[in-house]
Structure 1
Amino acid sequence: MKKILALTDYKDNFGSKHLDQPYRSGMDKGKLEQYFNSYGFQVTFSKFSEIDWQSESLKDNIVIYTSSEDPKYFYKDFIEDIILALQLSNIQVVPSYQYLRANNNKVFMELLRNVELPNQFCQLKTIQLGVLEDVKSHAKNIKYPVVIKASRGALGSKIYLAKNENDLVKKIKKASKTFYIKDYLWDLGRSYKHKGYLKNSIYRKKFIIQEFIPDLEKDWKVLIFGDRYFILTRYNRKNDFRASGSKTNYKAGTQSEYTYQILDFAKQVFEYLDIPHVSLDIAFDGQQYYLLEMQGIYFGTSTINMSDAYFVFENNQWIPKEINIDLEKIYTDSIINFLSK
């Protein structure tokens, strides 16, 4: 029997699941074990901290794992260390490390988009920066209004619209501020003691500056698990340009104001990514589709709960199918589908 090592967090939780019980406990590990066993896979659950790095049998496993949205992402940083080490040990991790790195990391997500996707999915002009001071070298190429996104943040938080250069600096300061009084005073002392010393920036949280798409009223979130596509329409907040996290007039499944072209676009993106499942945010301005964001692990699954159906592409057409299986089955099938490629 093939072996899967499923890595859980320090709370012994695995994955992200809407309406899980207890709250924020993730997927049902018993169901996952049952479903994987039905495909001939033996699953062992283990915390990241419990990996036996000296075990010769470690390389016999395919590794699946959870991520984390802990405050400040300290624990996620630890998870990244573990997954990268496993991948460098030539152990198959699903998804591969770069998708974990891009999870709730908009800077790397944009870099990954440019690396893994062709230009047709990279239409939005985006600048990735690590400090406020670096904006100066790009100032001549910025056309207003523009969107500023802190690298970390979900549900539309830490996303701002800048209407001019002064507004840009103001919004970037909100997104990137790293002022710590002790560090600042220590650095100030260096500047007095050492002639010519340049003080550290106090705006060092990385961020992106992204082209603004005008007149959008809504976007679509598409969750893809293998060959199953779940879709949700999200309207913008009132007097706002953001749809993510708005909870405004959400419509899911067959009620989602979907078009086959949106599903086609999502399918094209997914086929370029070496991944079993993904969450895509897609916009349409009346002329072309835009990929706004993508997440390959530990994304929200409420779209599934809100949907009356998912879509599959069969016989060159999109067909809605009633949802009669749980998330654990959907997740398992996507992993098996990926491993069988």
Structure 2
Amino acid sequence: MLVGIHINHKKSLTPFSKGYIDILEYNNIDFKILDIQDDQFWKKFERLDAFIFQVGHTSDMLQIADSFMPIIYNYVKIPVFPNFNTLWHFDNKIKQHYLANYFNLKFVDSKVFWDKKLAINWIKETNFPLVMKLRGGAGSTNVTILRNPNQARHLINKAFSEGIKDSSFPGTWKVKYFPIKKYIHNRMIWAKRKLLREDTSSYWMISKNYVYYQKYLPNNNFDTRVTVIGDRAFAFRRFNRTRDFRASGSGKIDYDMDSIDKRMIKIALETSEECGFQCMAYDFLYDDENPVICEISYTYVDHAVYKCPGYWDKTLIWHSGHYMPQYFILKDLLNVNLVHPNNQY
């Protein structure tokens, strides 16, 4: 058996992809590192029994994946991760909005406008505060709260003129939302790249000629992240950043399994089965007392899932243990029994 693993846009392996290699090596399964820029890529591809491309949130990675993954989905007959159902809406909240509407999924109420006049008229009648998001972004980037129609009108005008650049939303990178050490570290990396005349940002897409809103859900001091891999559900709670309404990227994680709302586990498992997702992380909030999905993403920080004390299966039976998510992804993709490495992370 030979598994192909594609590198990222910086010609290296992501930490998540290195996790695949750790498991493959531990189980004596051969793998090959691939790069679409290699003239021999398709020739090497012919020898593969499975293929993995852990596409990340950066504009560069999304652009690369969009250039050749459709060929694999349409013309190649080997197991692929992520598959089409899992990837096509990745890091695009508008696509997820339409997917949720089609399947009548339990998503937070949201609106998409492609017409400026319709958006302007709508904000005159809707209730505030209101959450506005760009189509992509992770770790609470590209998310802002609108307190009144004037704020909303300002961003509508910008979206339907020059557009809004990724990571330039109001409040996205304020120091108060991040631990000071993390903020300084990120700024030092940025300064080094600037001096070396390297690309200072992999997030360069412009959001233009649309606006996307979600209902503001007050009294949510945390969200619940449920990660479904196959028919297994891992879960933890993430508490909001200090003086902020956002939890994603806060690092304030609670792994108490007894605090998890089992309705969220059931919704996540059912959604993954209905939509044909191989792997999906769901972010839940409460609308009054009802759990609703705010965002989904097939990729995430692997060690956060590993630290979960176990998982629920599709019958909501609990299974104790710490597992690398790559272990179950590979087990399902290759359809083989694997041995889990010890002492990870």
TM-score (norm 1): 0.72
Q: Structure 2 vs 1, CA of residues 230 and 245 (structure 1 numbering), >3 Å: closer, same or farther?
A: same
1:276-287 matches, cutoff 5 A: 276-287=278-289
CA contact (8 A) 1:223 1:279 kept: yes
CA contact (8 A) 1:162 1:171 kept: no
CA contact (8 A) 1:14 1:65 kept: no
When the two chains are superposed, the root-mean-square deviation of aligned CA atoms in Å is: 3.5
User: For 1:177 and 1:12, how far apart are their aligned partners in 2?
Assistant: 35
| Equivalent position of 2:98 in the other structure | 111
Give the letter aligned to residue 50 of structure 2: I
CA shift for structure 1 position 58: 2.7
Aligned partner (choices 55, 65, 78) of residue 53 of structure 2: 65
Alignment size in residue pairs: 295
| Equivalent position of 2:302 in the other structure | 301
Aligned to 1:221, the other structure's residue is in SS state strand
CA shift for structure 1 position 11: 4.1
1:170 matched to 2:154? The reply is: yes
Aligned to 1:27, the other structure's residue is in SS state helix
| Equivalent position of 2:257 in the other structure | 254
| Equivalent position of 2:64 in the other structure | 78
5+ unaligned residues in a row in structure 2: which ranges? 165-205, 337-345
| Equivalent position of 1:142 in the other structure | 126
1:96 matched to 2:83? The reply is: yes
CA shift for structure 1 position 80: 1.4
Give the letter aligned to residue 277 of structure 2: I
1:1-341 matches, cutoff 5 A: 1=1, 3-17=2-16, 26-28=17-19, 30-34=21-25, 43-50=31-38, 52=40, 55=43, 58=46, 61-70=49-58, 73-92=59-78, 93-97=80-84, 99-115=86-102, 118-122=103-107, 124-130=108-114, 135-136=119-120, 138-139=122-123, 142-172=126-156, 178=162, 204=208, 206-247=210-251, 249-254=252-257, 257-296=259-298, 298-307=299-308, 309-313=309-313, 316-323=315-322, 325-336=323-334
Give the letter aligned to residue 94 of structure 1: F
CA contact (8 A) 1:218 1:236 kept: yes
CA shift for structure 1 position 302: 3.8
The percentage of aligned residue pairs carrying the same residue is 17
Aligned to 2:154, the other structure's residue is in SS state helix
User: For 1:175 and 1:243, how far apart are their aligned partners in 2?
Assistant: 25
CA contact (8 A) 1:150 1:158 kept: yes
CA shift for structure 1 position 77: 0.6
5+ unaligned residues in a row in structure 1: which ranges? 18-25, 181-201
| Equivalent position of 1:185 in the other structure | none
Give the letter aligned to residue 226 of structure 1: G
Residue deviations 1:122-170 (CA, integer Å, cap 9, x gap) = 4x33222457565236446633332100112211122122233222123
User: For 2:241 and 2:15, how far apart are their aligned partners in 1?
Assistant: 25
CA shift for structure 1 position 81: 1.1
CA shift for structure 1 position 265: 2.0
CA shift for structure 1 position 179: 6.2
Aligned to 2:162, the other structure's residue is in SS state coil
CA shift for structure 1 position 46: 1.0
TM-score (norm 2): 0.71
Residue deviations 1:83-123 (CA, integer Å, cap 9, x gap) = 012223244533233543422222222223334xx32424x
Q: Structure 2 vs 1, CA of residues 85 and 51 (structure 1 numbering), >3 Å: closer, same or farther?
A: farther
**Worse overlay, 204-213 or 219-228:** 204-213
